[in-house]
Amino acid sequence: MNYSSADASETRDYMHLFATINPFDMTFILHKTNNSDYRVTYANQQGATYFRREGKNSELASDFFTEDIWMTLKNFMNQLSTHKDGYKTKIFLPVYEELEVFDLSLLLVEINTQEPIIRMTLTNRTVEEAERTKLLETKEKYESILDHNLDPLVSVNSKGEIEYANPALSNSFGFHSHEVIGKELIGFVDEMSRKSFSQLMERAFLGQSIDLEECSFSHRSGHFVPVYMKTIPIVVHNEVTGVHFLIRDTSPHIENKEKLFYLSYHDHLTGLWNRRALKEHLREDTRFAELHNEEITIIYIDLDRFKLINDSLGYNSGDELLKRISDRLNMLSDRTSKLYRHSGDEFVYVLRHSSKETSEEFANIVLKELNKPFYVDHQEYFVSASMGISVYPADGKEMDVLLKKADQALFYVKDRGRAHYRFYQEDMNHSFPNEALMESHLRRAIEMEELSIHYQPQVDLNTGTINSFEALLRWNNRKFGFVTPAQFIPIAEESGLIIQIGEWVIHQVCLQLSEWQQKGFRPMRVAVNISPKQFKQETFAHQIKQILDKYGVHPNALEVEITESAMTNMRETLSVLNDLKEIGVVISIDDFGTGYSSLSYLKRYPIDIIKIDQSFIRDIETDTKNAAIARTIIHLAHNLGMEVIAEGVEKLKQVDFLKEAKCQKAQGFYFSRPVPIDEITAKYMS
C-alpha cells in the first residue's frame, strides 16, 4: 500500500489502531480525489482478499471493487456529508455464490487539516443474523406463551421484583404490566397469605415448581381475590435467575363450589334449607342440646288443601304461591329457629333453646302470619296450615323419631279440622296408621261392608224445615276403627279407589231415595260428594243416569256436589254439567271460595247451588272479613239465580247472621251432626 499524503504516518497510526480493533472485519480507508472519485488507500487482509480483483492493481475505488458493489458503496459514501456521526446500514454481498448480509459502517475521520478520510468497515453478520433470528423467534415464541396465556403470569427476578406481567393480569386483577413492573410481587399478596407465599418463593428459587392452593391476591380496585399460584423457576445455566408465577383467579371455581354446596342443602324452589340440611342440622342441634341440657322443638307444618290450590291454579302459580308462603314463614326464623322445606307443601321449623311456652307462642305467630292474604298475579289467596309439634328430648332423641311424632301430631290436627297446632301425645300413636296398609284395607272396604253413609240435614233458614241432606261417607275398619274421610278420601283419590267407592255411594244413596219414595215419604233430596277423579270420567253423566234409572229415582232428588278443582277444563266441564242438567239432577259447588278458580265459570255453568265453605262461616260473627266474603257470595249467588247453603254452622250467632244475609239453607253441628240413616228416617221422615 502506498501513502501519498504528507502526514502518512499519522494516518498509518490510525489505521493500525483501527485494524487491531476490528481484526475480523473488512476495513478500508478511502480518500476522496479531486474529480469526485475515491482512492482505496488501505484495505486490511480480509478486505483485500475479499475484493482484490485479478490483474487490477489500481487504488481507484472503481477499479478496486466490482462495478455494481462500488455503485452501491458510492451511493452511501455520498450520503456521508449529511451524516456527521457516521452512517450505518446493511448490505448484501456475494459469498461463494450466496448473498450474505454485512453491516456497512462509514465514518468521516478528520486527521489534522487534511481532507477527511473515510473509514469503512464491513462486518459479515450472516451467522450472527441467523442466530439472532433464531433467538428472536425463540424469544417471541416464549413471549407469546406468556403473553397469550389465559392465566395471569408474572415473572420476578432474584429479588422478587416483577420483571414481566402478561396481559391476562389486567383482566383478572385490573393491573396493567407497567403498573406492576419493578414492584415486589409479595406486595400484592394479602397479609394473611404472605407467610405461605414467602415459603413458596423460597422453594421456587431452589428450583422447585410448586403450587399454593389458597392465597389472596390484590385487585387494582382494592379488594382481594382468591387465587391459586404455581411457580415455574427460570433456570439459566443451571441457576435459578427468576421465577414465573402463574396466578389463577379461583373465585369462579369457589363460587361453583359454593353453588354446589348451596344447591345440595337448599330447596331450589323456595331457597329454604332442604331435608338433607334438616337432617344434618338436627343431628348437630340435638348433640348441642344434650350437652347443654336444652330442649329443641320441631314444628311440622302442612298447608291445608294445598293440593286443591295446585290443581286449580296450575303448577306455575301454585309454585309462586308456595314461594310467597315460604318467604313469609322464613321471616319468622332467626338465630334460634330455622325453617326447612320438607317436601311439597310441608315445612319444618326447628326451634333451639325452646320451651313449651315459647314454642306455643311461635306456633301462634305462624298461624297469625298465614292468616294474612297472599297475592299472586294480583289475585288474593288465603291459606291455612296445620302443625304438629314434637319436643326433644321428651318425645325422643333420634331425629327420625322426632319427625315422625311431629308428623303424627300433625295428622291428628288435620283429622280434627285443620288450621291449628298440637303437641305430640302418646295416644296419637294409635291414630296414625300406615298409609300403604290403610290403602290395602280400603281396597276391601266395600266387600267387607265396612263403609256406611251418614246424612247431615240441611235446614231451611226461613222455615226451619228440612228437605235435603248431605251424604257423608264413613269407614269403620276392623283394624283401624273409625277412619275419617279426611284420612281415607285422599288415599282413595290417590289410589284411584275413589271411582269404585264413589259409585258405591251413589248406589247407596239412590237405593235409600227409592226406599223413601216407595214408602211414600215426602220428597227429599240427597247431596252426594263427587271427587274430581270421578267427575272427570267421560262416562260420569251416563253412569248417574243408569243408576237413577236402575232404582227408579227421580233425578231432582239427587244432588251432585262438585268442587271447583274438578272444573278446571272449561269445555269438558261444561259438557258434563250440561249432560247432568239434561238428566235433571241438581248441581252444587262444594267448598265454594276455596278452589281459587275464576268466578266467570259461575255465569257459564248450569249451577243450582253454592255451598259456602265452612272456613268462611267460622267466626263469621266476629271476623268482619269472613262476614263480608259470606255476604258477597250470597249476594252473588242470588243475582245469578242460585241457592246458597252455608256449611259448618255451629252457633246461633252464625245462624242469625246468615238469616239476616238472606242465606236460604245451612248445615252444621248446630242443627245436627251427620248421623246414620236410621236416625234420619226416625227423626225427619215421619
Nearer to ligand C2E, 388 or 648 (CB): 648
What stretches of 99-193 show up as alpha helix (H) in DSSP? 126-147, 168-173, 177-180
Instruction: Mark the segment that binds ligand C2E (CB under 6 A) among 36-44, 54-62, 354-362, 484-492.
Output: 484-492
Among 3, 34, 32, CA closest to 16? 3
Pairing type for strands 643-646 and 665-666 reads: parallel
648 binds, among Mg ion, ligand C2E, none (CB under 5 to 8 A by kind): ligand C2E
Q: Which residues contact 262 (CB under 8 A, 6 or more apart)?
A: none
Contact between 304 and Mg ion (CB under 5 A)?
A: no
- Of the candidates 417, 467, 525, 570, which one interacts with ligand C2E according to CB under 6 A? 417
Are the CB atoms for 610 and 559 separated by under 8 Å?
Answer: no
531 binds, among Mg ion, ligand C2E, none (CB under 5 to 8 A by kind): ligand C2E
Binding residues for ligand C2E restricted to 27-56, rule: CB under 6 A: none
Pairing type for strands 586-592 and 87-95 reads: unpaired
DSSP symbol at 191:
G
Nearer to Mg ion, 564 or 647 (CB): 647
Residues that bind ligand C2E (rule: CB under 6 A) add up to a total of 25
Q: Which residues contact 383 (CB under 8 A, 6 or more apart)?
A: 303, 304, 306, 309, 321, 325, 370, 374
Question: Rounded to an integer, what distance in angstroms lies between the CA atom of residue 349 and that of residue 406?
Answer: 11
Nearer to Mg ion, 473 or 541 (CB): 473
Contact between 483 and ligand C2E (CB under 6 A)?
A: no
Nearer to Mg ion, 270 or 614 (CB): 614
Nearer to ligand C2E, 278 or 492 (CB): 492
Instruction: Mark the segment that binds Mg ion (CB under 5 A) among 246-254, 295-303, 483-491, 587-595.
Output: 587-595
- Of the candidates 591, 594, 642, 655, which one interacts with ligand C2E according to CB under 6 A? 591
Are the CB atoms for 612 and 633 separated by under 8 Å?
Answer: yes
Residues that bind Mg ion (rule: CB under 5 A) add up to a total of 5
Are the CB atoms for 238 and 206 separated by under 8 Å?
Answer: no
- Of the candidates 173, 590, 633, 649, which one interacts with Mg ion according to CB under 5 A? 590
- Over the window 599 to 638, marking each residue x when it contacts ligand C2E by CB under 6 A and - when it does not, the resulting string is ---------------x------------------------
Here the cell at position 497 is 279407589
- Of the candidates 513, 557, 649, 666, which one interacts with ligand C2E according to CB under 6 A? 649
- Of the candidates 311, 620, 674, 677, which one interacts with ligand C2E according to CB under 6 A? 674
Instruction: Mark the segment that binds ligand C2E (CB under 6 A) among 9-17, 74-82, 369-377, 664-672.
Output: 664-672
Binding residues for Mg ion restricted to 622-651, rule: CB under 5 A: 647
Are the CB atoms for 357 and 369 separated by under 8 Å?
Answer: no
Nearer to ligand C2E, 323 or 454 (CB): 454
Among 299, 319, 160, 169, CA closest to 241? 160
Nearer to ligand C2E, 407 or 647 (CB): 647
Distances (CA, A) of 200 to 191, 205, 219, 248, 383: 15, 9, 21, 15, 61
Binding residues for Mg ion restricted to 541-570, rule: CB under 5 A: 561
233 binds, among ligand C2E, Mg ion, none (CB under 5 to 8 A by kind): none
What stretches of 421-567 show up as alpha helix (H) in DSSP? 435-443, 485-495, 497-518, 532-535, 540-551
Contact between 529 and Mg ion (CB under 5 A)?
A: yes
Here the cell at position 162 is 416483577
Question: Rounded to an integer, what distance in angstroms lies between the CA atom of residue 450 and that of residue 482?
Answer: 10
Distances (CA, A) of 405 to 30, 348, 425, 488: 114, 13, 8, 20
Minimum separation from the CB atom of position 342 to Mg ion (A): 28
Here the cell at position 510 is 239412590
Question: Rounded to an integer, what distance in angstroms lies between the CA atom of residue 92 and that of residue 72?
Answer: 10
DSSP symbol at 440:
H
Nearer to ligand C2E, 260 or 652 (CB): 652
- Over the window 266 to 295, marking each residue x when it contacts Mg ion by CB under 5 A and - when it does not, the resulting string is ------------------------------
Nearer to Mg ion, 564 or 591 (CB): 591
Q: What angle do CA 394, 399, 402 make, to 5 degrees?
A: 45
Longest dimension (CA), the chain: 164
Nearer to ligand C2E, 337 or 573 (CB): 573
573 binds, among ligand C2E, Mg ion, none (CB under 5 to 8 A by kind): none
486 binds, among ligand C2E, Mg ion, none (CB under 5 to 8 A by kind): ligand C2E
Nearer to ligand C2E, 220 or 420 (CB): 420
Binding residues for Mg ion restricted to 39-58, rule: CB under 5 A: none
- Interface with ligand C2E by CB under 6 A: which residues? 417, 456, 472-473, 484-486, 489, 498, 502, 505, 529, 531, 561, 590-591, 614, 647-650, 667-669, 674
